[in-house]
Amino acid sequence: MGGAVTQPVLALNGVSRSFGPIEVLHGVDIALHPGRVHALIGENGAGKSTTMKIMAGYQPASSGTIAVDGQTRTLASMGEAEALGISMIHQEFNLAEQLSVEQNIFLGRELKRGWLLDKAAMRAKTRELLDRLQCDVSPDRIVSTLSNSDKQMVEIAKALLRDIRVLIMDEPTAVLTRTETDILLGQVRRLRAEGVAVLFTSHKLDEVAEIADDLTIMRDGAVVWTGPTAQMNEHQMAEAMVGREVSDLYPPKDGTPGEMMLEVSDFGVPGYSEGISFTLRRGEILGVAGLIGSGRTETFEGLAGLRRAEGQVRIKGQPVTIRHPWEALQHGLAYLTEDRKTRGLLLDKGMGENLTLLALWKFTRGLLDKRAEAAALETAIADFDIRGSQAVAVGQLSGGNQQKLLFAKTMLADPEIVVIDEPTRGIDIGTKQQMYQFIRQLAASGRAIVVISSEMQEVIGLADRILVLRRGQLTGTLDGAEATEDAIVRLAMGVGAATPEKETV
Amino acid sequence: MSATATQPRKIQMSVIGPVLALILLIILGALMNPNFLGWNNISNVLSRSAFIGIIAVGMTFVITAGGLDLSVGSSAAFIAGLMILVMNTALPSMGVGVPIVLLGMAVALVAGVAVGLINGLLITKLGIEAFIVTLGSMGIYRSLVTWLADGGTLSLDFSLRSFYQPVYYGGVFGVSWPIIVFAVVVVLGEILMRSTAFGRHCAAIGSNDQVARYSSVRVARVRLATYVMLGVLVGVATIMYVPRLGSASASTGLLWELEAIAAVIVGGTMLKGGFGRVWGTVIGVLILTLIGNILNLTDFVSPYLNGAIQGAIIVLAVVLQRANKPA
Amino acid sequence: MSATATQPRKIQMSVIGPVLALILLIILGALMNPNFLGWNNISNVLSRSAFIGIIAVGMTFVITAGGLDLSVGSSAAFIAGLMILVMNTALPSMGVGVPIVLLGMAVALVAGVAVGLINGLLITKLGIEAFIVTLGSMGIYRSLVTWLADGGTLSLDFSLRSFYQPVYYGGVFGVSWPIIVFAVVVVLGEILMRSTAFGRHCAAIGSNDQVARYSSVRVARVRLATYVMLGVLVGVATIMYVPRLGSASASTGLLWELEAIAAVIVGGTMLKGGFGRVWGTVIGVLILTLIGNILNLTDFVSPYLNGAIQGAIIVLAVVLQRANKPA
Amino acid sequence: GVSIPAATHGWAGGMNYFAQTTVDRLEETYPQLDFVLATASDPARQVNDIEDMMATRGIDALVVLPFESEPLTGPVMAVSDAGVWVTVVDRGLAVEGIEDLYVAGNNPDFGRVSGEYMVSAMPEGGQIVVLRGIPTTIDNERVEGFQAAIEGSGIEIIGMEHGNWNRDTSFTVMQDFLSRHPQIDAVWASDDDMAVGVLAAIEAAGRSDIQFVLGGAGMKEMIQRVMEGDTMIPADVTYPPSMIATAIELTAVGLVSSAPVSGEFIIGSVLVTQDNAENFYYPDSPF
Ligand SMILES: Nc1ncnc2c1ncn2[C@@H]1O[C@H](COP(=O)(O)OP(=O)(O)OP(=O)(O)O)[C@@H](O)[C@H]1O
Ligand SMILES: Nc1ncnc2c1ncn2[C@@H]1O[C@H](COP(=O)(O)OP(=O)(O)OP(=O)(O)O)[C@@H](O)[C@H]1O
Ligand SMILES: [Mg+2]
Ligand SMILES: [Mg+2]
């Protein structure tokens, strides 16, 4: 690939950034070269997103300089950065939910014929961009009805529309499946060939190893390593990020199944799934695999009373009907959503208020016991290693730390049956390991656990048994031993058939 | 996905709902009185819808962009008062004729722009909630017109009024001017909302102003523009209103703001912003006007209960529209 | 983000802002009239704040949970009318005494619950926008009271009124009942908002009802409860109101809804929901009442302009509070 | 067709009552007549009502109590031009000669009678406060008439605010007047609804300096108090809401017979004192 001797198209020199009294970036140096892909990795809260926002002009640096084409500049606004050809895809979705796909992609740069919009041209262009990403949603779909991965594709299409020299992507693959990731990486290669400088972050180190030419590793707001990716293997990357040895990611499956906790038969959520039966015992971790759109989320949301569902459910042998989420909780069943931003956390509230929302009754002794709440927060921060200032709204926390907080919030309610949907989305590898251990401990302490995950490795590594869903139907149950990626994929896609990986819904 | 599967149907219902309510009302009216569908009555209803209608079109943009304006009724009164005052003052020097009417119209439009600018700047520059700003200006303009009129009524000189009256009562091919102007405003509004960048930006801001800002939309400017546009439309409505009654007082335009907002929401625009529909607003306005008209056609309810019937029908119209929305 | 950097300071200012505005008003009042700080005037101001104040406390919860209620003024009138009617009817059989007053109070509370339930159920079960539902019920109750009063005034029987009057005029240690009840409502409201699960749930729902639902909050029930609570408080306010003049008419409680909402927002609660402050609402109510009081105590402005001054001060009070918020 | 303002305050309420009962009664008496009664909450709506009566109900006669004179002039003129009988009640139109029949109270006269009573009750002068109605021409005329009548009498108006013909507002305003002025000799409340609020405020403050309160319009409770010789309410000035009944009745008579009923009927304001109060007492009226 192109030599690193070219002048960097965009560089940060000694950039620091403070929020109030807290400095989160300490003298960061990073340089992007045209025609090269640069990966930025680090733990949750290391300052990756902040660095990227400064590079894209969304936030000012507190000190230090930004150089574009070797010239020091102040990027006063993202408009200015955009004019220089710098475009960014945010970690959190940055789409107007009530607008259509096409309206979002062209927002702020609508094509016009005279005064009026040239809708035909915009729709055609949208189609073309989405086709390039092999995404088949209609340009007229309202964004709020899209799946997370489709939203991500729309974000990418939006960035591709711009005339870019620098593309900055903050965890673009967190919500994508492997196939979609491959499509994205294909686009990245194409851009690289066109001479675009690409900066991206990911907690999936295999992707980093696969595509990045250059690598920068951050820890606690400072750069700890930078150089060509080829000099590092995945293991070394993980170590440099976390600052310690990361050995076995998954804890041993040493649980002994106990009493029957959950029996589900002929269960389904109309329109999404039907005829699903399974059982779950204390101490067991049940993995649920399937392609995005296979109805896993909806099925378990149905189980948790968040959607209308049909079928028989028994908890500890007793038949129950759960029509509302609080009824689920009364039966000891909690569901941890995959969508932390719009369903998981109150982004404009503090950590404390979010943490205790689900389990508020535990803190009610007539009135709320605020001291107990504060103590619970301290415990949660320690247990889950949540990093970030307690004074700010949780919307300002780094994505991974939000996920940890969501985890802590659900666990605070002491559920006996926990359904965890995409537990490690956007979580760094060190914390992942902690989380897996934590989930195993929960099982060992007699909880029954369901883990829904799109990461095949995670399901295989963590679960005692695996359910595979396809188009809302249960296509198979695999035991820990026989679970291989291949077996899951076969079930998930319909054996041997060359079905596209993404289900059309 | 069923969420997606029901989505189109839900939109359908919210599209058809207000239309259905309107049709029901028309059938009801026709059954109650044979004159209801006479051109005379239709023309009356449409003309009087025009004031609120023109304002409500502007309100649709303000609400779509996540704003609100409580001051339209009193600013209409204020603009009417100002217009009358200016025209009466200019009368001795200018005499009755087209120029003085044009002067009056210019005053109304300029005052409308000013009113919109003041509201808009306070909201966008100082970042005060639209509710408070426009509640404040509502009080201010209402007081100002009372003060201008010295507690009484400001009246357009009678000769001037006779000259100016055709602007309300006259028309082309039997269609009166207010109806024509209303139609033009609606068509332009619909185009603006659906087929220009401005309309999209309004919806984007109302949906999520942060996102709009990140997409290089000039949020403050678009917001300001919605208020100015509303101000201008209030001016336009006033231009039609003054020749009808030839006067302005403290009770002019009372509660127009509630009516305009209600029309917008009955028409299917969301109060939270992010989604607006100009033609829906027209349906909303017609529903509201027709209720009053139909109550005048019959007298089997005590006039004291008119308000109750109106309230009930407004709620029913919206129930029709959202009937299949889950709790 | 710069918004975040100023966050702590902004909260400070939004806390201090309304208090500052209140203090400025008090100083102004004291300078203008020596009687202003007399116990008599203070007592008057506090007593008359009580009606709107008690309602505004309830409104704080409704708005915090992302709702709105435009019907409080007319439901107050309706409840007052009903109460008077029931008491007058029961008078021949029950005679003047404590039981009949208790009956009246019970009627007010039950009617309050009913009013709140109806609004709340329409909003939560049918999913109609609060604005529309309460706009409708506003018209309905206003009409009903006009109809009950036959267009005139419903007056409590004279002997009964004299007996009942101490509920407004009497008190303990020179502090009148309305003030005491208001204080109790405020203290309970403050505790409920800050220190109970209910208050948290209201804020959570107003902030993001989807998140609240996923967090096992009974969204519909909490929302409903805020409306019922507001209804009850309207009943309580009416219980204090009726003995004051012993009458109810179509003009009772006119525009109370706007005043109550304005008080809530001037006090720093967000109209969008998600964040509410009961003590702020109290400050808001006092600011609004004091403006009127001061205007009555002085006369260097034309009374026609009272509304303008009120409007301007409301906006100013909020400017003070948000002065350093970026555009 | 009968078009009147909605019952937004006591007097209007009384007027609504009289209109309604007269319509009911006349419908029985004259089966050949059909009545349409509409109430409006602002001038524009009143114009709507009148337009609707013309367009859809085909009325032969219109009895209108204009919400405000100016705005209604044009529309009523259009009605008259269409050959419909027009009776105007209370508030004259801005152009003379439109109406066939005019039945009215006299607002300047109302102010004058009130003022003259004030002067006679306080021959050596004194300090009074005044509560005004909703800012309208009616209110202006009354206050001007009043001010003209007390001119030079030594009576000084030390405070004047709008009570909006509303009991609650007047109560508040009066409370504040009481805080502000240590000595008030009398109050001109200019309306009986406002007088109710004023009396309550005085009573609550326990002030004894105020000798009397003069209301107006002839509310039954007030008339009763005058009748009973209440010293706080020694008199009242009429402005009878029943004038609408007179107007409707006269119009109906005009339609069914050939009796000559056109012209003007001005119902002057009469001072009600204990001596004549009985004649003005209508216990069944809501006002
Ligand atoms: N607006 C803000 N106000 C206060 N603190 C902030 C703000 N934005 C970010 N931070 C803090 O800065 C630190 C770095 O956050 P950043 O989002 O850059 O982390 P990250 O490396 O992207 O983590 P993740 O992998 O979890 O996305 C975190 O501790 C975060 O809480
Ligand atoms: N109406 C909707 N509004 C918003 N998001 C939706 C809606 N319907 C589905 N989604 C989201 O679409 C995504 C796909 O959902 P689905 O249940 O079909 O797939 P899944 O099997 O749960 O896959 P995954 O969990 O991997 O996303 C989920 O993230 C879901 O939350
Ligand atoms: Mg990040
Ligand atoms: Mg899912």
Tell me how far apart the alpha carbons of residues C248 and D286 are, in angstroms, rounded to a whole number. Answer: 12
For the cut 80, the answer to whether the pLDDT of residue B152 exceeds it is no
A78: distance to nearest CA of chain B, Å?
A: 7
C125: distance to nearest CA of chain A, Å?
A: 15
Residue B14's pLDDT is 63
Residue B1's pLDDT is 34
Q: What is the dihedral of CA B165, B167, B173, B178, to 10 degrees?
A: -120
C298-315 average pLDDT score: 78
Return the DSSP state at D238: B
Q: Which of residues 242-271 of B touch C (CB under 8 A)?
A: 258, 261-262, 265-266, 270-271
Test C211 with A59 for CB contact under 8 angstroms: no
Return the DSSP state at A251: P
C235 within domain boundaries: yes
Rounded to the nearest 10 degrees, the angle between the axes of helix B256-266 and helix B72-94 is: 120
The domain made up of A255-332+416-505 has a fold known as: Rossmann fold (3.40.50)
Tell me how far apart the alpha carbons of residues A133 and D253 are, in angstroms, rounded to a whole number. Answer: 85
The domain made up of A10-242 has a fold known as: Rossmann fold (3.40.50)
Test C143 with B327 for CB contact under 8 angstroms: no
Contacts (Cβ under 8 Å, ≥6 apart) of C188: none
Contacts (Cβ under 8 Å, ≥6 apart) of B78: B111, B115, B141, B142, B144, B145, B148
H-run or E-run covering D266:
strand D263-266
Closest of A306, A257, A301 to residue A276, by C-alpha: A301
- DSSP per-residue letters across A336-402: E-S-IIIII--TTS-HHHHHHSTTGGGGEESEE-HHHHHHHHHHHHHHHT--S-TTS-GGGS-HHHH
Specify burial of residue A160 (Cβ count, 10 A radius: 0-12, 13-18, 19+): buried
Closest of B233, B232, B108 to residue B164, by C-alpha: B108
What three-state secondary structure class fits C120? helix
Give long-range contacts, CB 8 A cutoff, 24+ apart: C300-307.
C302/B147, C303/D132, C303/D160, C303/D161, C303/D162, C304/B143, C304/B146, C304/B147, C304/B150, C304/B151, C304/D135, C305/B143, C305/B144, C305/B146, C305/B147, C306/B143, C306/D162, C307/B139, C307/B140, C307/B142, C307/B143, C307/B146
Q: What is the dihedral of CA C289, C291, C293, C296, to 10 degrees?
A: -140
Tell me how far apart the alpha carbons of residues B268 and B308 are, in angstroms, rounded to a whole number. Answer: 22
- DSSP per-residue letters across C211-279: HHHHTT--HHHHHHHHHHHHHHHHHHHHHHHHHHHSEEETTTTTTHHHHHHHHHHHTT--TTSS---HH
Query: Which of B302-316, C115-129, C220-234, C305-319 has maximum average pLDDT?
Result: C220-234
Q: Which residue has the tokens 């970026």?
A: C326
Contacts (Cβ under 8 Å, ≥6 apart) of B240: B50, B51, B54, B167, B168, B177, B178, B181
Starting at the earlier edge strand, list the strands of the sheet with A310-315. Answer: A276-281, A260-268, A310-315, A318-320
pLDDT-wise least confident of B103-117, B173-187, D267-281: D267-281
Global pTM reads 0.88
Q: Which of residues 158-187 of B touch C (CB under 8 A)?
A: none
Please list the pLDDT of chain A residue by residue as tens digits (505 residues). 444 457 889 999 999 999 888 888 998 999 999 999 999 999 888 899 999 999 988 888 888 889 988 888 887 777 788 888 888 888 777 888 889 999 999 988 888 888 888 888 999 999 988 888 888 889 989 888 887 778 888 988 888 888 788 999 998 888 887 888 888 898 889 889 988 999 999 988 888 998 999 999 998 889 998 999 888 888 888 888 887 777 777 888 877 888 888 999 999 999 889 999 999 999 899 999 888 778 899 999 999 999 999 999 999 989 999 999 999 999 999 999 988 888 899 988 999 999 999 988 888 888 888 889 999 999 999 888 888 888 888 988 888 889 889 989 998 988 999 999 988 888 888 888 888 888 998 899 889 999 998 888 888 888 989 999 988 888 888 887 777 888 888 888 776 544 444 443 3
A338 lines ligand 2 (CB under 6 A): yes
The residue count for chain A: 505
What three-state secondary structure class fits D92? coil
Residue D9's pLDDT is 67
Residue A499's pLDDT is 43
Taking the Cβ of residue C169 and every Cβ of chain D, the question of whether any pair is shorter than 8 Å is answered with: yes
The CA-atom distances, in angstroms, between A264 and each of A309, A382, A413, B306 are 12, 36, 23, 56
A112: distance to nearest CA of chain B, Å?
A: 8
Test D205 with C40 for CB contact under 8 angstroms: yes
Take atom 18 of ligand 1 and give the residue whose Cα is closest: A47
Residue A505's pLDDT is 35
Closest of A2, A10, A9, A6 to residue A52, by C-alpha: A10
D271-285 average pLDDT score: 77
Predicted confidence (pLDDT) per residue in C27-69, tens digit = 988 888 888 888 888 888 898 899 899 999 999 999 999 999 9
C3 within domain boundaries: no
Residue of C nearest to D10 (CA): C152
A239: distance to nearest CA of chain B, Å?
A: 35
**Residue B39, both tokens:** 């051109």
B121 within domain boundaries: yes
**Residue A116, both tokens:** 């009026």
Average pLDDT of chain C, as a whole number: 86
Best probe of the D interface among C177, C179, C249, C309, by most D CBs < 10 A, is C249
Tell me how far apart the alpha carbons of residues C133 and B306 are, in angstroms, rounded to a whole number. Answer: 17
Average pLDDT of chain B, as a whole number: 85
Count of CB atoms within 10 A of residue D252's CB? 23
* D190 Rama class: left (phi>0) / alpha (psi -120 to 50) / beta: left
- Gap from CA of C93 to ligand 3 centroid (Å): 75
B59 within domain boundaries: yes
Taking the Cβ of residue A90 and every Cβ of chain C, the question of whether any pair is shorter than 8 Å is answered with: no
Residue C13's pLDDT is 58
Predicted confidence (pLDDT) per residue in D70-84, tens digit = 778 878 888 888 888
Q: Which residue type does A434 have?
A: Q
Residue B299's pLDDT is 65
C14: distance to nearest CA of chain D, Å?
A: 30
A431 lines ligand 1 (CB under 6 A): no
Of the candidates C33, C41, C249, which has its C-beta nearest D10's C-beta? C249
Average pLDDT of chain D, as a whole number: 81
Query: What is Dmax (Cα atoms) for chain D?
Result: 62
Q: Which atom of ligand 2 is nearest to the CA of A177?
A: 26
pLDDT-wise least confident of B299-303, C152-156, C219-223: B299-303
Q: How many domains does chain B have?
A: 1
Residues in chain D with CB shorter than 8 Å from the CB of B35 are: 55-58
Q: Are A367 and C200 in contact (CB under 8 A)?
A: no
A90 lines ligand 1 (CB under 6 A): no
C218 within domain boundaries: yes
Q: Return the partners of chain A (3 or more C-beta pairs < 8 Å).
A: B, C
B38 within domain boundaries: no
Number of helical (H) and strand (E) elements in chain C, helices listed first = 14, 4
For the cut 50, the answer to whether the pLDDT of residue C327 exceeds it is no
Range of the domain at B220: 46-314
Residue A43's pLDDT is 87
Q: Which atom of ligand 1 is nearest to the CA of C1?
A: 1
pLDDT above 70 covers a percentage of chain C that reads 92
Interface confidence (ipTM) of the complex:
0.86
A292 lines ligand 2 (CB under 6 A): yes
A294 lines ligand 2 (CB under 6 A): yes
C10 within domain boundaries: no
Domain residue limits, chain A = 10-242, 255-332+416-505, 344-414
Test A107 with B275 for CB contact under 8 angstroms: no
> How do strand D61-64 and strand D2-5 relate by DSSP bridges?
parallel
Predicted confidence (pLDDT) per residue in D176-196, tens digit = 888 888 888 989 988 888 888
* Dihedrals phi, psi of A16, to nearest 5 degrees: -120, 160
Looking up residue C168, the CATH number of its domain turns out to be: 1.10.3470
Give long-range contacts, CB 8 A cutoff, 24+ apart: A330-334.
A331/A417, A332/A415, A332/A416, A332/A417, A333/A262, A333/A303, A333/A304, A333/A415, A333/A416, A333/A417, A333/A418, A333/A419, A334/A304, A334/A358, A334/A410, A334/A413, A334/A415, A334/A417, A334/A418, A334/A419, A334/C216
- Gap from CA of D250 to ligand 2 centroid (Å): 75
Tell me how far apart the alpha carbons of residues A66 and A84 are, in angstroms, rounded to a whole number. Answer: 13
The residue to mutate among A12, A24, A341, having the most atoms of ligand 1 within 8 angstroms of its beta carbon, is A24
For the cut 90, the answer to whether the pLDDT of residue C183 exceeds it is yes
* Dihedrals phi, psi of B156, to nearest 5 degrees: -70, 140
Take atom 16 of ligand 2 and give the residue whose Cα is closest: A293
Take atom 4 of ligand 2 and give the residue whose Cα is closest: A145
Return the DSSP state at D57: I
Where does A413-498 have alpha helices with state H? Answer: 429-444, 456-462, 485-493
Test C210 with A367 for CB contact under 8 angstroms: no
Extended beta strands in A118-173, E state: 166-169
Residue of B nearest to A118 (CA): B195
Closest of A99, A96, A94, A56 to residue A75, by C-alpha: A56
The CA-atom distances, in angstroms, between A115 and each of A498, B194, B230 are 47, 12, 20
Taking the Cβ of residue D69 and every Cβ of chain B, the question of whether any pair is shorter than 8 Å is answered with: yes
The CA-atom distances, in angstroms, between C72 and each of B314, C258, C280 are 18, 9, 20
Burial pattern A334-348, b for ≥16 Cβ within 10 A else e, equals bbbbbbbbbbbbbbb
Residue B150's pLDDT is 80
Q: What is the CA radius of gyration of chain D?
A: 20
Best probe of the A interface among C193, C208, C216, by most A CBs < 10 A, is C216
B207 within domain boundaries: yes
A344 lines ligand 2 (CB under 6 A): no
Test C245 with D12 for CB contact under 8 angstroms: no
Query: Which of A59-63, A297-301, C145-149, D11-15 has maximum average pLDDT?
Result: A297-301
Q: At CA A401, angle to CA A200 and CA B206, rounded to 5?
A: 75
Take atom 24 of ligand 1 and give the residue whose Cα is closest: A44
Tell me how far apart the alpha carbons of residues A76 and A60 are, in angstroms, rounded to a whole number. Answer: 7
Closest of D188, D177, D193, D180 to residue D241, by C-alpha: D193
Tell me how far apart the alpha carbons of residues A263 and A315 are, in angstroms, rounded to a whole number. Answer: 6
Taking the Cβ of residue B198 and every Cβ of chain A, the question of whether any pair is shorter than 8 Å is answered with: no
Q: Which atom of ligand 1 is nearest to the CA of A91?
A: 27
Residue of A nearest to B7 (CA): A145
Residues in chain B with CB shorter than 8 Å from the CB of C124 are: 327
A387 lines ligand 1 (CB under 6 A): yes
* Dihedrals phi, psi of C269, to nearest 5 degrees: -75, 145
pLDDT above 70 covers a percentage of chain B that reads 91
Residue C4's pLDDT is 36
Q: At CA A355, angle to CA A351 and CA A357, rounded to 5?
A: 120
For the cut 60, the answer to whether the pLDDT of residue B327 exceeds it is no
Q: Which comes out higher in pLDDT, residue D75 or B238?
A: B238
Predicted confidence (pLDDT) per residue in A208-260, tens digit = 998 999 999 998 889 998 999 888 888 888 888 887 777 777 888 877 888 88
Taking the Cβ of residue C153 and every Cβ of chain D, the question of whether any pair is shorter than 8 Å is answered with: yes
C267: distance to nearest CA of chain A, Å?
A: 19
Residue D154's pLDDT is 84
Test A107 with B191 for CB contact under 8 angstroms: no
Taking the Cβ of residue A407 and every Cβ of chain C, the question of whether any pair is shorter than 8 Å is answered with: no
